[in-house]
A and B are shown apart, each in its own frame.
Chain A
Amino acid sequence: GAVVSQHPSRVICKSGTSVKIECRSLDFQATTMFWYRQFPKQSLMLMATSNEGSKATYEQGVEKDKFLINHASLTLSTLTVTSAHPEDSSFYICSAQIPGILIYEQYFGPGTRLTVT
């Protein structure tokens, strides 16, 4: 149980284009999902918290107009990188939280490697 998928696993796009990354919880409903980015040999950096049916909460320094998050259902959240630039190239990982009173475990997707040329 607690499987999270991401699509695509890798994407290469040209500068100025937009890219959408999907995150799905396959065997549970996730009211809360998180989006992270990770640079090589570094820890995960939280970008935003995505709540089903409401606006995402962005971390300080993350441009909400550039990284659009939509959590339209209990099993799907999407991250759209708009007008991508080479500096947006990174490893993007989503996680989904199993809802519960005391249990706050996060389960991660396999990640999406974005390369902007």
Chain B
Amino acid sequence: DAEITQSPRHKITETGRQVTLACHQTWNHNNMFWYRQDLGHGLRLIHYSYGVQDTNKGEVSDGYSVSRSNTEDLPLTLESAASSQTSVYFCASRDRDQETQYFGPGTRLLVL
């Protein structure tokens, strides 16, 4: 079955380190998204991509970057992790026909 996966599921890192969170989908969706979920804020958009070589900033993009070299993957990089980036990160891909985003299982990141 087609799916969307994220790795790692849990990550502990130190302030200042570079961290990359992986997102992989097998639906062949062109549109992919990264969100972060924080208590009291719901989910907020970090970056998104409409296809290979396309990336765009979302609402809370500072300190994050993405790259899209193929359809299946949209890795999210924290250039220099900060404690404020402790959060749960969700990747999503969008089924264009159904106009619906489907989410990965999430990555819980703790920055110490």
Question: Is this pair of chains taken from one and the same complex?
Answer: no
Interface positions of B (Cβ within 8 A of A): none
Interface positions of A (Cβ within 8 A of B): none
